[in-house]
A = this chain, B = another copy of it.
Amino acid sequence: MGLRERKKVQTRNALIDAALELFLTQGYDATTIDQIAARVDVSPRTFFRYFSSKEEVALSPPADSQEIFLAEFAARPESESPYTALSQAMRAMIGTLRDKEPAEAERFMRARQLVEETPHLLAGQMRLLMDNEKRLVAEVARRQGTDTGDLLPQFVVSIFTGLGMVCYTSGPQGFDIMAKRLDDVLKLADRSLRPGWDLAAAAVSSPATG
């Protein structure tokens, strides 16, 4: 990796860290791009060459973690039912984040705290989630052998997204507490959902449409 590329990574991380620091201390709205840029000694224009908006710099860690989740999900064995694969992918994601180098893991936690206390960012994160939802639905449909347009895969993904929100919205905390919370929610889900609810068979047994 050349010097140029290393510098870019460095600047990018510096911008994220500076932004998170200012957002968390002064608040998101009260912080200007100029302040963030000044702290990293770059021009405001340069900031926008790394991030397309003020929102994006704050949501950059969450976006990364979602990518990780999607990768983990795609890597789950075919033997797992859609919902099981989703749950396991979520656990795997938390583990992957925890095992990163401290500086990076710290960024994820700080961003998480910021997003939670800033409604605008929470909305933005939901948008990220919905952007990925299509990919998720497609993969679930594939595992079920159903069509992407079917109600069932969308249903499964929506239920799961709901669970994710519950364990996400629960105050500042570390990865371990987050994992514990996820376990609790998944246990609750196991008690609430019928076995095989996420498999196509249940839907197929219904009479033809119309």
Chain A residues in the interface with B (C-beta under 8 A): 119-120, 122-124, 126-127, 130-131, 151-152, 154-155, 158-159, 161-163, 165-166, 169, 184-185, 188-189, 191-194, 197-198, 202-203, 206
Contacts and interface: CB of A to CB of B under 8 A. Distances in A.
Nearest to A156: B192
B162 A166 contact: no
B151 A155 contact: no
Contacts of A119: 127, 130-131
Identical chains bound together, number: 2
* Chain A interface main SS type: helix
A155 B184 CA distance: 11
Given A119-B127, A123-B127, A158-B165, A151 B194 contact: no
A158 B206 CA distance: 26
Contacts of A123: 123-124, 126-127, 130
